[in-house]
Amino acid sequence: DQQVKQNSPSLSVQEGRISILNCDYTNSMFDYFLWYKKYPAEGPTFLISISSIKDKNEDGRFTVFLNKSAKHLSLHIVPSQPGDSAVYFCAASVMNRDDKIIFGKGTRLHILP
């Protein structure tokens, strides 16, 4: 039973345009959400996070939006650059617990020249 769902296995976006990656979750206990980026043969690297008390967090070209009522979050990358081509994992955790992060299956983003 997937608690964090990324329904798009892949996404292609023209360089310079906006990339929007979507994520849904089912567990209402989650109160902290993260996006990780992964290149081949490397471990995931942390990109951006948001706590459930916010609905938006921005860091440079990356913005994460959280809609708690819909249990949905999205990552916006603008403008998209070639180096953004990677697999993006949406993840969630419960803040007062210090152990597991629950990951989605990932979305492979291709930035087209």
Partner 1 sequence: GAGVSQTPSNKVTEKGKYVELRCDPISGHTALYWYRQSLGQGPEFLIYFQGTGAADDSGLPNDRFFAVRPEGSVSTLKIQRTERGDSAVYLCASSLVGGSEQFFGPGTRLTVL
Contact positions vs partner 1 (CB under 8 A): 4, 6, 36, 41-46, 89, 91, 95, 97-106
To partner 1, the closest distance from the beta carbon of 113 in angstroms equals 27
Cβ atoms 89, 58 nearer than 8 A = no
Tokens in use for 26? 């089912």
| Nearest residue to 92 via CA among 66, 56, 62 | 66
Tokens in use for 50? 């948001």
77/88 with CB nearer partner 1: 88
34/111 with CB nearer partner 1: 34
65/103 with CB nearer partner 1: 103
Cβ neighbours of residue 49 closer than 8 Å, sequence gap 6 or more: 32, 33, 34, 35, 57, 64
27/46 with CB nearer partner 1: 46
Residue 99, helix vs strand vs coil: coil
To partner 1, the closest distance from the beta carbon of 27 in angstroms equals 14
* Chain centroid offset of residue 78 CA: 14
To partner 1, the closest distance from the beta carbon of 14 in angstroms equals 26
To partner 1, the closest distance from the beta carbon of 46 in angstroms equals 6
